[in-house]
A and B are shown apart, each in its own frame.
Chain A
Amino acid sequence: MSESVITVSNLTRDYGRSRGVFGLDFEVKQGEAFGLLGPNGAGKTTTIRQLMGFVRPDSGSARIFGKDCFTQAARVQRQVGYLPGELALMDDMTGMAFIRLMAGLRGQRDLSHALQLCARFGLDANQKIRKMSKGTKQKVGLVCALMHRPRLLILDEPTSGLDPLMQNQLWEILLAEKQQGVTILLSSHIFEEVERLCDRAALLRSGRVAAVEQLGELRTKASRVYQLRFETAARAAVFAEGWPGAAAKGEWVQLRLGRGEPVARLLAQAAQSGVQDLQTRQENLEDMFLRMYGGQDK
């Protein structure tokens, strides 16, 4: 777990009008699944473009397996499997012809692993890519990303445009790869996705790393969210004033209790105020990031 696979240090690429990435620093260790989280335009794709050697950094550096991502891109790519966010395959080829082309570009003659993957994904690759559904295309892309048994997988918003069934299938595939020791870098704007697969995540905002968190640890810090409904909005407001951190919205009051905070006192006080309804849920990653690092883009 100690060897560093991706090292990004002080990486800056300024596209002007405060778009781009600025002074990014993070590291992904061998065997780790690392998430790049953030809203659209936060710099996730820009970061991945630099890791893939598509774009040269203005300053700072991005290294994979110790090699520079731009100047040594071709050597880096040998050990990397990449699934682009905008899945643009070559429409006029069949899936199999495309897989063969990609294998050919890798100098890979042996297609047995690719065929195994096709079978595992239930992919019939013999039709023209133009006629494939989004999910089927994604499977072709995944086969191409996995068929050379890469040590690092880089996935840019891999579930966008997939139906829930396909999404689940994708997660199973990625979890299996992770269990085999493949290092994974995943970008997403959906917190649940990252929560499901990743050990750590960096939250990007306006091209900067707002936080890097150990997700397992973060989960233990998760508090519970309570929503209470009162008879009138006025009563709700009164109750909210009497409880630090509570917010009233109409007849509803929302508040958060951390571990070890007094649930009994909350219930007693709510009962006294004539609570009508109570909902409770585990705080998710999104809530936590919002709570810890603020909700709005600066």
Chain B
Amino acid sequence: MSGALLKKELRANGLLVVIFLGVVTLYGSMITSMFDPKLGDSLNTMMESMPELFAAFGMSNPGASLTQFLANYLYGFLLVALPLVMILILVQRLLVRYMERGAMAWLLASPVPRWKLAVTQAFVLVAAVVLLVGYMTCLCGGLAEVLFPGELEFDRFALVNLGDLGLLLFFAGLCFCSACLFQSSGPALWAGGGLCVAFVLLDMLAGVGEEAEFLRWFTPVTMYDPVALANGENIFPLAGLYLGALALFVAGVMVFSRRDICV
């Protein structure tokens, strides 16, 4: 890793990450404070009236506990989609933009080996994702403890966050790898970003009804099931996400180190 580049990127992208922390704070605190065992009943009634719509957003079996409530309404969609936007913007700023505008030439002309440059950029991306999920864990956990003492099952809530982190790192790896793979900015950003969006959409479709359920085999999002995690189930598939993320980052660094870069 290059310290000078790391310092530059942290300074250049810090504000962006802080803005995203602000946005998820808004959603996180709103949804956490919305928890009410009685409200749960009325939501259940609403869900029974239009199950497909709720299922599409990963909000199925809401259950009664605060952990299930958060897993369902916060970690089912919002904490997948919002961080994905952050990941895309970061990949654009960390790699795609340098390539597009030609500033990459300056980085390549320095005596820092290519793999170190790539590892530095990957580190910034991973750090931002870990910070976001870690922050949410603390925020929602702390808020839940203040508002509804004793309601949150911390170990299971941690599992949900671990799952979310796994999925987001997988997405980050995919976007990073695609940015390392392509020269022109369109494919560099959207081969990875488009796949991530497609995977989320497939997962939503698969949740809608039985005819579409087979789609779950075509998206890695299936490996992350927040409601099941809140029940302490489906832990094992998370390993797939983490291993996939690792493989994608390693592949990205290797491709970046070996390819032609026409800047």
Chain A residues with CB under 8 Å of B4's CB are: 100-101, 103-105
Q: Which of A48-56, A237-245, A252-260 contacts B (4 or more CB under 8 A)?
A: A48-56
Chain B residues with CB under 8 Å of A106's CB are: 110-111
Question: Residue B26 at the A interface, CB < 8 A?
Answer: no
Question: Residue A92 at the B interface, CB < 8 A?
Answer: yes
Question: Residue B106 at the A interface, CB < 8 A?
Answer: yes
Question: Residue A21 at the B interface, CB < 8 A?
Answer: no
Complex Cα distance A82/B102, Å?
A: 14
1/0 per residue, CB under 8 A from A, across B91-124: the answer is 0000000000111011111111110000000000
Interface size, chain B (Cβ < 8 Å): 25
Whether B262 and A49, one on each chain, are in contact in the complex, defined by CB atoms closer than 8 angstroms, is yes
Question: Residue A42 at the B interface, CB < 8 A?
Answer: no
Q: Which of A80, A90, A91 is most buried by chain B, counting CB atoms within 10 A of its CB?
A: A90
Chain A positions 206-223 with a Cβ under 8 Å from a chain B Cβ: none
- Smallest CB–CB gap between A132 and chain B, Å? 14
Complex Cα distance A82/B17, Å?
A: 33
- Report how many A-B pairs have Cβ atoms within 8 Å: 78
Q: Which of B5-13, B42-50, B56-64, B229-237 contacts A (4 or more CB under 8 A)?
A: B5-13
Chain A residues with CB under 8 Å of B103's CB are: 88-90
Question: Residue B263 at the A interface, CB < 8 A?
Answer: yes
Complex Cα distance A4/B223, Å?
A: 58
Question: Residue B184 at the A interface, CB < 8 A?
Answer: no
Question: Residue A248 at the B interface, CB < 8 A?
Answer: no
- Smallest CB–CB gap between A81 and chain B, Å? 9
A105 with B105: in contact, given A56-B260, A77-B110 (CB under 8 Å)? no
Complex Cα distance A73/B263, Å?
A: 15
- Smallest CB–CB gap between A72 and chain B, Å? 10
Whether B262 and A75, one on each chain, are in contact in the complex, defined by CB atoms closer than 8 angstroms, is no
A50 to B, closest residue via Cβ: B260
Question: Residue A158 at the B interface, CB < 8 A?
Answer: no
Question: Residue B2 at the A interface, CB < 8 A?
Answer: yes
1/0 per residue, CB under 8 A from A, across B242-262: the answer is 000000000000000010111
Chain B positions 1-38 with a Cβ under 8 Å from a chain A Cβ: 2-5, 7-8, 12
Checking A54, A80, A97, A102 against B262 with a beta-carbon cut-off of 8 angstroms, the contacting residue is A54
A104 with B3: in contact, given A77-B109, A92-B12 (CB under 8 Å)? yes
Closest 3 CB pairs of A and B: A104-B4, A88-B102, A105-B110
Residues of A within 8 A of B (CB): 49, 52-56, 73-75, 77-78, 80, 82, 84, 86, 88-93, 97, 100-107, 144
CB pairs A–B below 8 angstroms (19 shown): A52-B108, A53-B108, A54-B260, A54-B261, A54-B262, A54-B263, A55-B260, A78-B111, A84-B109, A88-B105, A89-B106, A97-B8, A100-B4, A101-B5, A102-B110, A104-B2, A105-B2, A105-B112, A106-B111
